[in-house]
Amino acid sequence: MNDIIHFYRVSNLQVVRDFYEKVLGFSLFKDQTKCLIYDVHGLGKIGFCTHHPKVPNDSTCITFVYQSESEVDAIYHQLQRLKLTTDAPSINPAFNIYHFFIKDPAGLTLEFQTFL
């Protein structure tokens, strides 16, 4: 295996493009007109399509893993300045992680976390 791509269904590719490129800083790997595929900082790929897969947005969670609590805090503060966050990062003792969740503009749940 060379790489991995996770695909998610969205209805508006422009709001996805604005968020993942401008807010999260992901590089566009391929624009296939109906799908945008992003490189996740060399760690794999994530794709957003208007036609596939046929899975409801609320049935999944995309988790971005960072190396430290301070990195999770930094992305939280970046998103907070844009008024995109919900609850502040917290420790989840059941999973021994430090994390927070937001909804992206397409309604997908995103988790930003670090393992403790």
pLDDT tens for 42-95 read 889 999 988 866 666 666 788 899 999 999 999 999 999 988 878 899 999 998
Distances (CA, A) of 114 to 2, 14, 54, 68: 25, 29, 30, 6
- Rounded to two decimals, the pTM is 0.78
The top-level CATH class assigned to 57-116 is alpha beta
Give the integer Cα–Cα distance in Å for 114 and 99.
7
Domain 1-55 identical in fold to domain 57-116: yes
What percent of the chain is predicted at pLDDT more than 90?
A: 56
Domain 1-55 has CATH 3.40.50.1240: no
Mean pLDDT over the full length of the chain:
89
Q: What is the pLDDT of residue 57?
A: 61
Which pLDDT value is given to residue 84?
85
Domain ranges of the chain: 1-55, 57-116
- Residue-level pLDDT at 55: 60
Task: Report the share of the chain in percent with pLDDT over 70.
Answer: 92
Span 31-47, average pLDDT? 91
**What is the CB neighbour count within 10 angstroms for residue 47?**
19
